[in-house]
Amino acid sequence: MLLEVDHVAKHYPAPDGESQISILSDISFKTDSGNSLAIIGPSGSGKSTLLNLIGTLDRPSSGKISLNGTELTKVKQGELAAIRNQQIGFVFQQHHLLPQCTVLENVLLPTLPNPHKETATSRAKKLLNRVGLEDRLHHRPGQLSGGECQRVAVVRALINQPMLVLADEPTGALDASTAERLGELLVDVNKELGTVLIVVTHSSKLAENMHRHYELRNGYLMG
């Protein structure tokens, strides 16, 4: 199994400092390479919290998460950044591209810790070509549309060839038809690269494109 989420719970201390607020009660699922998964659920149901736990940006209160046989929940804090950089790609609602950098430079940022510049550049160009941005390599984000920026963000997420791609409402800031095209792109690229794709979305249209669907409700994942 590429990803195993095993009885994960997350709670936060309540403002009174005594009780706990439970966000995720008991979440378990597993998935193998090549699969895509949609997680839907109302605002505040804990979708981003769950994605952040899987992405090692936060730790569960209890339970285990394993990626490719490594139990992430046991990895020391200092070693998580490398795993995140090499094995996990993130796409958020906002693209978070650096405005002063070109498209190509933005895409190459996650590769800076490793020295194979030529390989990375050629991979970047290939991926940018794949998403139809071959004529935009030297543009800056301010010179692109919202949909184009999100496509750059997708390429940036894929540049280190991660096994797992996590997308948190990736089409939330786009108009309907641009959103639909980005959703199709995510699914196609997932198929081509054989990664696991987990997409959190409000959009049932986007969710329909994924292999499996879950709804997060009251701290539980309904299949």
Q: Given candidates 41, 55, 60, 162, which one binds ligand ADP under the rule CB under 6 A?
A: 41
Single out the segment in contact with ligand ADP by CB under 6 A; choices: 42-50, 63-71, 174-182, 186-194.
42-50
Indicate whether 60 belongs to the interface with ligand ADP (CB under 6 A).
Answer: no
Asked if 46 is part of the footprint of ligand ADP (rule: CB under 6 A), the reply reads yes
**171 contributes a contact to ligand ADP by CB under 6 A:** no
Stretch that binds ligand ADP, among 30-38, 39-47, 67-75, 172-180 (CB under 6 A): 39-47
> Which residue lies nearer to Mg ion by CB, 144 or 182?
182
Distance of CA 38 to the CA centre of its chain: 11
Q: For residue 5, with 0-12 CB atoms within 10 Å meaning exposed, 13-18 middle and 19 or more buried, which class applies?
A: buried
Q: Which is nearer to ligand ADP, 52 or 85 (CB)?
A: 52
Binding range to Mg ion, per CB under 5 A, among 40-48, 59-67, 74-82, 182-190: 40-48
CA distance 48 to 144: 27
223: which 2 tokens? Answer: 């299949």
| Long-range CB contacts (within 8 A, 24+) of 175-183 | 175/146, 178/145, 178/146, 178/147, 178/150, 179/203, 179/205, 179/206, 180/205, 180/206, 181/147, 182/147, 182/150, 182/151, 182/154, 183/209
Does position 48 interact with Mg ion (CB under 5 A)? The reply is: yes
Among 43, 99, 115, 142, binds ligand ADP (CB under 6 A): 43
- Is residue 49 within the footprint of Mg ion (CB under 5 A)? no
